[in-house]
Amino acid sequence: MAQPITAHAEVPGIEGEGANFPPFDVNTFGSQLLWLAITFAVLYLLMSRVIVPRLSGILEDRRSRIAGDLRIAAESKARAEEAGEAYEKALAEARGRAQALAQETRDKLAAETAEKRAALEAELARNLADAEARITAGKEKAMGNVEAIASDAAAAIVERLTGQAPARDAVATAVGKAMAQ
């Protein structure tokens, strides 16, 4: 069975009747409070003189390390931005040089093409003039032979129609008169 709990509880297993649990014993409150004050003072002094300064040092060290890291990060960011600007500038210069080189190459190729075209046109003009000269010479040669061919054809026609061969001189004279008209 359970025993009722009172302000002066008895500790089981302690010999003697009426033995109270020491923290609840009113007679020991004064000494307990004294030791509480002494323990609190010692712990307070230990905390304020040893532990708090160490923690403050650790926190200050962390603050300074974080500030240093932020400063380094800001410097790195500035260097990265400068490098990016330098890269963009170099890229723009390279594009400009590439465009200038491409334009120079186009101009050079256009000049070479114009020279080749002019040389080819001159050669074609020479070939055309030579061909026209050959055609004119062939035409003149052919025209020179036309009179002889016409005389032979006229003599052959007259001989076939009449049965007699005409005189060569008469045929040549008649063909010459016909060609003159």
Report how far residue 74's alpha carbon sits from residue 163's, in angstroms, rounded to the nearest whole number: 125
Shortest CA distance to 89 belongs to which of 78, 99, 97, 77? 97
- pLDDT class for 70, splitting at 50, 70, 90? very high
171: tokens are: 């045929």
pLDDT one-digit tens code per residue, 120-142: 999 999 999 999 999 998 888 87
Encode pLDDT of 143-170 as tens digits. Answer: 777 777 787 888 888 888 888 888 888 8
In three-state secondary structure terms, 10 is: strand
Local confidence band at 7 (pLDDT 50, 70, 90 cut-offs) = low
Provide the percentage of residues in the chain whose pLDDT is more than 70: 90
Of all residues in the chain, the percent with pLDDT exceeding 90 is 57
> HSE of 106 in the Cβ direction (CA atoms, 13 Å)?
6
pLDDT band with cut points at 50, 70 and 90 for residue 13? low
17 φψ region: left (φ > 0), alpha (ψ -120 to 50), beta (else): beta
Residue 10: how many other CB atoms lie within 10 Å: 15
Task: Give exposure, 100-133, as e/b (b: 16+ Cβ within 10 Å).
Answer: eeeeeeeeeeeeeeeeeeeeeeeeeeeeeeeeee
